[in-house]
Structure 1
Amino acid sequence: MPFGQLVLGSAGAGKSTYCDGMHQFMGAIGRQCSVVNLDPANDRTNYDCALDIRNLVTLEEIMSDDRLGPNGGILYALEELEHNIEWLENGLKELGEDYVLFDCPGQVELYTHHTSLRNIFYRLQKLGYRLVAVHLSDCFCLTQPSLYVSNLLLALRAMLQMDLPHINVLTKIDKISSYDPLPFRLDFYTEVQDLSYLIPVLEAESPAMRSEKFGRLNQAVADLIEQFGLVSFEVLAVENKKSMMHLLRVIDRAGGYVFGAAEGSNDTIWQVAMRNESSLLDVQDVHERWIESKDFYDELERKEEEEQDRIRQAQAEAAAEASGDGVLDALSRPPVPDSGIRVARKKK
């Protein structure tokens, strides 16, 4: 039964960077992984595409032949893929049981109200794929209350539209400490706590928001999000191994992934960690990790990584020395006495 991630998010959220980083991380833990590019406008990927929608249809062709703009062209391209779903199915069959990352376009219409993307993945589910939607949002949205509320609504709508196990992720979290100070702790945003506290900050963002009419609208939107109670966020720094490891375990739990034999074949530190329940982030306070004491934990993890590299190097040297001793022992052994047995080839 193949597993996969449907990587969603608006333009600039870091979807392709995420696919590249997750592809490399899965390779490091011994999990066979392939990436499928479903963005007809993405002609320069950092990863190797196992399948590329641009081999079926390109945005440039659609815009030229049908006189559509970029957004309309991408919607048309996904409709074309839906009508030629056999192309995708046949390509995926060649990947066997590989874990698949689907890099999707950044047009939010595709996962808020347009049906083609949803229908495509419904079809893949019937083929036996166990999919998890991973919705990425740039953590810069936390710096403006209106952007944050907009991302909450977008995430909620995507969860209802796609109807899949769903993980919302704030990307580029390692940059959050360089932005303006947040009015609340980071866990207030990741856990989507009482949004009524956010309304005064939202009104202070713009004079137009201070009217009674907008006040009632803001409260209604906050109540809507809280009544559903579905949205929360994980945080991610793609270049941080512990952050990637934590997110992958969350996704594995959501999708019901069972570790395959390939991941048990080696004993590198990250493979062992991925199989260990205690491998979740040591610092559960995300505000402390990424804002208050970011430099301290970055240095701590750097030293841990250096220590792990030293241990791996020592193990490799010990293995090489043991292998060399084995060769010398074989050379120093006395010759085996002649058994008298001879093997003769028969002439044809």
Structure 2
Amino acid sequence: MSKFGVLVMGPAGAGKTTFCSALVNHLKNNRRSCFYINLDPAAEEFVYEPDIDIKELISLSDVMEDLDLGPNGGLIYCFEYLAQNMDFLTEPLGDVGEEYLIIIDMPGQIELYTHIPILPALTKELMGGSLNISMCAAYLMEGTFIVDRAKFFSGTLSAMSCMLMLGMPHVNVLSKMDLVKGTVARKELKRFIQADTDLLDDDPNPAQQLHFEEIGEEVDDPTESEAVMAGTSFAKLNRAVGKLIDDFSLVSFLQLDVKDEDSIGGILSYIDDTIQFHEAQEPKEPKDEDFEEADMDG
């Protein structure tokens, strides 16, 4: 029997828990089953009570107090402890059926997704063995990043880094799009959705313009103080980052507005396609009440 899940991740403040709550609400409204897991040991408030909460195993506040660790070191300790006690996750997940969507809400410390091997080990455990969860990652990045193009491409590079680190299917999402509605023309917005690196060349903000055409392909040693002060080092770095994103062609984005049911449903359909949820579902017998409604309508 297959199981299906989505790992909701991204930097702090990207709206992961809000998206999880909206996704749970959408599934409930459409009579779909879900299993909600919180793996943020610092999270306190939820719209929907998680079916599994890591704080029942270990909490960040206790770790910081007992071991005198900071928030980042404490978070890493929490996940190392979880890795040593995986039965906390695997045992309750063993009873979850194929009709459920398992939603895993992750913390916002970006280092968990970029260079620490804890998360790849965790996902390998969930996607392999007896659980065999068909899973994808939903990486959220704030839609407000499109206002600053250098910041947008920095975030895009982080998304690509997470994709390469985890080695699992990804759905990349620009969250909080309601906050930037009307800020960017629709035609221009498409260039962000597809991560068009030419955006770096024609930034309308004079303070952020990189003037690549004036730099040329050959730039003097970017470590020289003159190059750094003139901004050419920054420009060359951004061009190299843009080329890297272009060469891989891995990152494109979906738009998320949690206030819009169609937006939630659209992203859910991408998640379902990625994990092949519907292909595994058996046709269901009509319920008695469905027959009664049909008779009344007839």
Q: Which interval holds the TM-score relative to the shorter structure?
A: 0.7 to 0.9
Is the 2:150–2:238 contact (alpha carbons within 8 Å) kept by the matching residues of 1?
A: no
SS in 2 for 1:225: helix
Stretch deviating more after TM superposition (37-46 or 206-215): 206-215
Is the 1:134–1:168 contact (alpha carbons within 8 Å) kept by the matching residues of 2?
A: yes
Are positions 1:111 and 2:131 aligned together?
no
Which TM-score applies when normalising by structure 1?
0.72
* 2:216 alignment counterpart: none
Deviation of the 1:216 alpha carbon: 1.6
AA matched with 1:42: A
Are positions 1:190 and 2:193 aligned together?
yes
AA matched with 1:116: I
Q: Distance in 2 between matches of 1:214 and 1:319?
A: 66
* 1:308 alignment counterpart: none
* 1:5 alignment counterpart: 6
Deviation of the 1:204 alpha carbon: 3.3
Are positions 1:156 and 2:157 aligned together?
no
SS in 2 for 1:133: strand
Is the 1:39–1:53 contact (alpha carbons within 8 Å) kept by the matching residues of 2?
A: yes
* 2:101 alignment counterpart: 99
The root-mean-square deviation of aligned C-alpha atoms, in Å, is 2.7
Q: Distance in 2 between matches of 1:209 and 1:252?
A: 49
Q: Distance in 1 between matches of 2:265 and 2:283?
A: 17
Q: Distance in 1 between matches of 2:117 and 2:270?
A: 27
Question: Runs in 1 of length 4+ with deviation above 6 angstroms?
Answer: none
| Bigger radius of gyration | 1
AA matched with 1:190: I
AA matched with 1:48: E
- Of all paired residues, the percent bearing the same amino acid is 33
Q: What is the 5 A alignment of 1:1-348?
A: 1-97=2-98, 98-126=100-128, 127-177=131-181, 180-181=183-184, 185-193=188-196, 195-201=197-203, 204-206=206-208, 211-258=231-278, 260=281, 322=296
SS in 1 for 2:108: coil
Q: Distance in 1 between matches of 2:63 and 2:116?
A: 18
Shift in CA distance, 322/182, structure 1 to aligned 2, threshold 3 Å: closer
Is the 2:156–2:251 contact (alpha carbons within 8 Å) kept by the matching residues of 1?
A: yes
SS in 2 for 1:230: coil
Is the 1:31–1:262 contact (alpha carbons within 8 Å) kept by the matching residues of 2?
A: no
SS in 2 for 1:124: helix
SS in 1 for 2:168: coil
Deviation of the 1:320 alpha carbon: 12
Structure 2, unaligned runs of 5 or more: 210-227
Q: Deviations over 1:36-71 (max 9, x none)?
A: 000000021111210000000001110011111111
Q: Distance in 2 between matches of 1:182 and 1:66?
A: 51
Shift in CA distance, 177/128, structure 1 to aligned 2, threshold 3 Å: same
Is the 2:5–2:134 contact (alpha carbons within 8 Å) kept by the matching residues of 1?
A: yes
Is the 2:159–2:172 contact (alpha carbons within 8 Å) kept by the matching residues of 1?
A: yes
Structure 1, unaligned runs of 5 or more: 267-317, 324-348
Q: Deviations over 1:73-94 (max 9, x none)?
A: 1111011101111111012123
AA matched with 1:186: L
The structure where helix makes up a greater share of residues is: 1
Is the 1:237–1:244 contact (alpha carbons within 8 Å) kept by the matching residues of 2?
A: yes
Which TM-score applies when normalising by structure 2?
0.83
Is the 1:8–1:15 contact (alpha carbons within 8 Å) kept by the matching residues of 2?
A: yes
* 2:215 alignment counterpart: none
Is the 1:202–1:209 contact (alpha carbons within 8 Å) kept by the matching residues of 2?
A: no
Shift in CA distance, 263/252, structure 1 to aligned 2, threshold 3 Å: farther
Larger relative contact order (Cα-Cα within 8 Å, sequence gap ≥ 6): 2
Q: Deviations over 1:284-330 (max 9, x none)?
A: xxxxxxxxxxxxxxxxxxxxxxxxxxxxxxxxxx959959xxxxxxx
SS in 1 for 2:181: helix
